Amino acid sequence: MPSTVISFIHYDAKKHTLRVGYLSGMVYDYKNVPEEVYQQMTQAYSKG
């Protein structure tokens, strides 16, 4: 996952929550994210 700002992403399919960790150390949880959005993000050439 090439990115200049994102360290990791994790998707919880049961809760529909996308967790994004940034290189700055911040971690954000995004709620009500469709699984298709997560799939598209993991397949995108640039994540951020």
pLDDT tens-digit readout, 12-26: 999 999 999 999 999
What SS3 state is found at 35? helix
Domain-located, residue 1: no
**Single-letter residue type at 13:** A
Contact predicate 23/6, CB 8 Å:
yes
Torsion of Cα atoms, 23 then 32 then 38 then 28, to 10°: 0
Domain-located, residue 16: yes
Domain-located, residue 48: no
Number of domains the chain contains: 1
Domain-located, residue 15: yes
What pLDDT was estimated at residue 48? Answer: 55
pTM comes to: 0.80
Domain-located, residue 36: yes
Query: Which residues constitute the domain of residue 30?
Result: 6-43
Domain-located, residue 18: yes
